[in-house]
Structure 1
């Protein structure tokens, strides 16, 4: 049975703070800088993180509450386009990401060993346990933190 290590828990719970620190002193111009057509800016990433964590919030709860449930797939590019990411408030999005991540961590921390083995079916990825979902979102925050750091370095001076 797989459960997160203490290091994974730390990273999972600290990702929002690390991301907040990484964007803390950026100007609007820096937040909105995109290195190319159809490439996300830091602003877009922050809005995406909130949406993704909201999907994770639902996926964790669906899997824990309903045995062998089916998890919907969502099209990130369609969300970015049709939810007008560029017009959304990225500070609000970062706050939402932070709160949703804290709620997810609080729920997951109280789960029994057996609960970590509960599974759902994802239309693209197949069977996923709570641990598999945890690992997905654990890695997701870190992936976008590194992307933010690369975008900061790429910003023209």
Structure 2
């Protein structure tokens, strides 16, 4: 596995922290539309998604062809009250989880990157593919956060 991909995974926390560093509470809580997430909710979601992602990656490393369950992210956001949770703590938790997972990933060798889990919706996924997904997951949400910021700016004019 490429050291660059592990580094990109490791850098996710700093990139998120930088993306919200200058935002006001109003910007953090702005929702660009019905059933659209605020930046605050995106941050809380990322912490929950990281819990799931680390669980999946560790199961793939420790078990033979484990079942990887899907979850309904919108149901989690609504039922768990993402808008009322502490986004700062969620971001800290995200960073802590990533910092604890990086040494695990750095210790993976050779064929272990090809170990597989069976996702109930996506089918077989290797450890390498899971890592790529969680790197791109942050990328996708950073782009979403930028769109929310832009919508806030347009709304505030």
TM-score, normalised to structure 1, is: 0.94
Q: Which residue of 2 aligns with 1:113?
A: 110
The match for 1:13 is: 10
Offset at residue 82 of structure 1 (A): 0.7
Shift of residue 9, structure 1, vs aligned partner: 2.7
Structure 2: stretches of 5+ with no match in the other structure: none
CA distance in 1, matches of 2:75, 2:141: 18
Aligned residues: 154
Cα drift, residue 7 of structure 1: 3.2
Q: CA RMSD in A?
A: 1.1
Distance 1:7 1:114 in 2: 18
Partner of 1:46: 43
Q: How much has 1:12 moved relative to structure 2?
A: 1.5
Which of 54, 70, 75 is equivalent to 2:72? 75
Length-normalised TM-score, structure 2: 0.94
Q: Is the 8 A contact 2:6 2:106 kept in 1?
A: no
Deviation of 1:11 (Å): 2.0
Unaligned ranges ≥5, structure 1? none
Q: CA deviation at 1:146?
A: 1.1
- Farther off after superposition, 42-51 or 145-154: 145-154
